Amino acid sequence: MLRPPLESPGARLRELMAQDTVVMPGVFNGISAVLAHKAGAQALYLSGAGITNAQLGVPDIALGTLTEFAQQAAYVTQVAPVPVLSDADTGFGEALNVVRTVIEMERAGLAGIHIEDQVSPKRCGHLDGKAVVAPSDMARKIRAAVDSKRDPNFLVVARTDARGVEGLGSTLERAKLYVDAGADAIFPEGLTSEEEFEAVRRAVDVPLLANMTEFGKTPIIPVSRFRDLGYQMVIFPMTAFRVMLKALDEAFGELLASGTQANMLDRMRTRQELYERIDYSAYDGKDRSWAQEG
């Protein structure tokens, strides 16, 4: 059912982090959020690449706007009653733009956002050819973000892409600087081994986020290992999206080749199964009850 966002989603996410490492499936629209929530996810990650690829059909190179990201965030938080952390690219501009980003994303009902220290237009964190801004410029954005919170529990997560540009040493130094600037958590992107994740853990004493994306520079590492390494959040930004993409390719190809969907029925959710997932009967029931009360 549509519902108002949690009163303090940031506080709820902090509670979950205090209890255990939080597994955060990546979602990209309302229905993906519904399915992840109904599968048992206690928190979600709203993927910037997912929004950009799914809604716009273009590469993740800063072509999505703050308005589009905030709108998708609102769709997600209205249907999934769990805390949602969202990608916010580079903050959609400089420090003053970051202020508006925090205001809009918090108003959308999110638990928090992460902003990254790449030069805009940014690139996927697991591609080469990136550039990073001066550490002091990113620190200024973090201070602006922290100063703009309405809810002190709203998480400002600082992502650094320095590993693939300047090396691990720079990643560690930037992480320390960003913590000093007020970041609530650190997201070291593009690390290449468990040892590097461990080095970041030793360097800072704030919550850490690990990106367990596929086909990138980071090896596949299970959540249990991240728990041992002391990471509070593990995101799987495009896992479901990539599975969906392959299924769509296969379905469209088969439909166009054969002219019928007859051989695909056993790979579909039925009409009833779809209605169950989107709570169709609950909407009907509410509508009838309001009519009867009149």
pLDDT at 101: 98
**What are the two backbone dihedrals, phi and then psi, of residue 285, each rounded to the nearest 5 degrees?**
-60, -45
**Unique residue bearing structure tokens 């970051």:** 98
Using DSSP, state whether 210 is helix, strand or coil. Answer: strand
Q: Which strand (E) or helix (H) includes residue 24?
A: strand 22-27
Structure tokens, 158: 């600082």
**What angle separates helix 194-203 from helix 168-180, to the nearest 10 degrees?**
30
Structure tokens, 37: 């929530």
Buried b (16+ CB within 10 A) or exposed e, 107-127: ebbbbbbbbbbbbbebbbbbe
In this predicted model, what pLDDT tens digit does every residue of 95-123 receive, in sequence order?
999 999 999 999 999 999 999 999 987 77
Asked if residues 51 and 61 have their Cβ atoms less than 8 Å apart, the reply is: no
Structure tokens, 213: 């994306």
Structure tokens, 13: 């996410």
**Band of pLDDT at residue 292, cut at 50, 70 and 90:** confident
Q: What is the mean pLDDT of residues 211-234?
A: 97
Distances (CA, A) of 154 to 105, 183, 193, 284, 288: 10, 11, 30, 35, 38
Asked if the model's pLDDT at residue 127 lies above 70, the reply is no
Asked if the model's pLDDT at residue 129 lies above 80, the reply is no
In this predicted model, what pLDDT tens digit does every residue of 135-176 receive, in sequence order?
999 999 999 999 999 999 999 999 999 999 999 999 999 999
Q: pTM of this prediction? A: 0.95
pLDDT at 125: 65
pLDDT at 200: 98
Residues carrying an active site annotation: 45, 60, 87, 89, 114, 116, 124, 159, 189, 211
The angle subtended at Cα 32 by Cα 28 and Cα 122, nearest 5°, is 15
Cα–Cα distance for residue pair 87/105, rounded to 1 Å: 10
